Amino acid sequence: MNQENKVYVIGSVNIDMSISVDTIPLEGETKAGHNFIKNIGGKGANQAVASATLGANTTLIASVGDDIFGKEAITSLANNKVNTKSIMVEHADTGMAFITRTNRDNRIILHEGANHKMALDKALEAICGQEGDVLISQYEIPFDIVLKGFIKAKQLGMITILNPAPARYLSKDIFEYVDYLILNQTECDIFTGIYPTHKDDVIKASQVLFKQGITRLIVTMGSKGSVYISKDQLIETAAYKIKTVDTTGAGDAFVGGLAYGLVHHQSIEVAIKMASAAGAYACLHEGVEHAMGTIKEIEEIMEGMKK
């Protein structure tokens, strides 16, 4: 196995327009917001930045528009150490995300834009990893690209991570090509009918998903930590105790942290602890683009938990 294994992310790029408000406006109501943030987002971009900031050799396979936002996104991703050679530029609007932050929570409205203009043949050509490399994807791009990308990745001997968010595609066709399925509580409820709040709930959810072809499941439960379960192993990981500022991007930081651990040949237990620390670090900062931690910053959080 190559000691310099790489991370490939195939997914979305959005421009995030984020604002805080004390309470969500009622129907027809206008409220004044504060702490406006504009940055590069999209689950694909976020996960790639998380992995690259930690130090993994990371390539993003994505599609942006031929507008000012597309140029801005590519420049920003490159500045965040992401390999952008496989980002396609399409005659379309760059994807957008409108984020409302309130009470340390967030609500998001997406405009797909160029994310759904991605060329299947170019996307598959860009997946050129080898044994031990990792491919990550989500559901902010067409399902057919994700499915065929995972099929190719497994043919190449790559490790695959699926974070099916938003949970818009419920097809089980992809499950046999997934090495690690990562769900939050809401996604777990959508896929299994079980909203998990503790280990026993995750065990029940895993029984549903294992029958459908999943072999390794990770469920994140915010302040309740996370649970990893395979057919022969169960690992509970406590959440890091932090003072949350903004949860936006925490899930993406978790995915990037897990990928970093896997390509550095960490045990799954250590990789999940690293992922949890990456998610916790993201919660300490507003926005996403500049909320992803370096390996030193993540290790400091992990060390703090031991004290």
- Among all residues, which ones are annotated catalytic? 252
Of the candidates 248, 192, 250, the one whose C-alpha atom is nearest the C-alpha of residue 220 is 250
Contact in structure between 251 and 271 (CB atoms under 8 Å): no
Residues sharing a CB contact under 8 Å with residue 303, sequence separation 6 or more, in sequence order = none
Q: CA-CA distance, 201 to 210, in Å (whole number)?
A: 14
Compute the C-alpha angle 292/243/260, nearest 5°.
25
What are the tokens at 81? 């150490």
Q: What is the token pair recorded at 115?
A: 């994310």
Q: What is the DSSP letter of 3?
A: T
Which residues 6+ apart lie within 8 Å of 84 measured at CB?
60, 74, 77, 78
Task: Fill in the amino acid letter for 195.
Answer: Y
